[in-house]
């Protein structure tokens, strides 16, 4: 089975998890990027990103260098912002063929209302089978991420 790990990462936390998951699965990897990058600085990113989430903004994405049709499954990775999935992931999921291929989801949170974010994203994923919630590496309980990733890879592998 040919798998692709697709993710968006602003601070590097989701990227780090995506690389571990792709490595564990022997999957290809694709980082989604927006045409207009987020501004620098944590506070500005919080304001802009939070505003985009609240306004349900769908940003333009940079061209994707992979043919989604070549893959049997997509494993999707997203941070949770303001208790919701990020605009870049929502933009990617506008492609219904891609959304149909997503069977597994991993997401990272600083510890907010993760369930709201999960609910919003899972409504767009009709074939979702596996999920795992990870914590930002600055969170005190992030030490559990390694074992959660290992278990997630095992579940996805079937």
Residue 6 makes CB contacts below 8 A (sequence gap 6+) with 29, 30, 32, 74, 75, 76, 77, 92, 98
What would the pLDDT profile of 45-78 be if each residue is shown by its tens digit? 565 556 566 667 677 889 999 999 999 999 999 9
Asked if pLDDT for residue 108 goes beyond 80, the answer is yes
CATH number at residue 151: 3.40.50.360
Report the chain's mean pLDDT, rounded to a whole number. 84
- Give the structural domain span for 115: 3-157
Say which residue, 151 or 12, is predicted with more confidence: 151
Say which residue, 39 or 143, is predicted with more confidence: 143
User: 102 falls in which pLDDT band (50, 70, 90)?
Assistant: very high
pLDDT (mean) for 80-91: 78
pLDDT for the residue 123: 80
Count structural domains, the chain: 1
pLDDT (mean) for 18-30: 98
User: 109 falls in which pLDDT band (50, 70, 90)?
Assistant: confident
pLDDT for the residue 120: 72
Asked if pLDDT for residue 112 goes beyond 80, the answer is no
């Amino acid at each position: 089975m040919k798998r692709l790990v697709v993710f968006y990462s602003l601070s590097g936390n989701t990227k780090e998890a995506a690389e571990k998951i792709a490595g564990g699965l022997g999957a290809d990897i694709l980082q989604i990027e927006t045409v207009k990058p987020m501004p620098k600085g944590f506070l500005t990113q919080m304001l802009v990103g939070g505003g985009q989430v609240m306004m349900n903004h769908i940003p333009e994405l940079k061209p994707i260098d992979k043919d989604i049709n070549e893959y049997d499954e997509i494993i999707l990775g997203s941070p949770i912002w303001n208790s919701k999935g990020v605009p870049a992931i929502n933009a990617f999921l506008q492609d219904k063929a891609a959304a149909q291929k997503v069977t597994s989801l991993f997401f990272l949170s600083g510890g907010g209302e993760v369930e709201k974010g999960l609910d919003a994203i899972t409504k767009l994923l009709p074939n979702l089978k596996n999920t795992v919630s990870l914590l930002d590496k600055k969170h005190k309980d992030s030490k559990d991420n390694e074992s959660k990733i290992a278990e997630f890879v095992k579940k996805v592998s079937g």
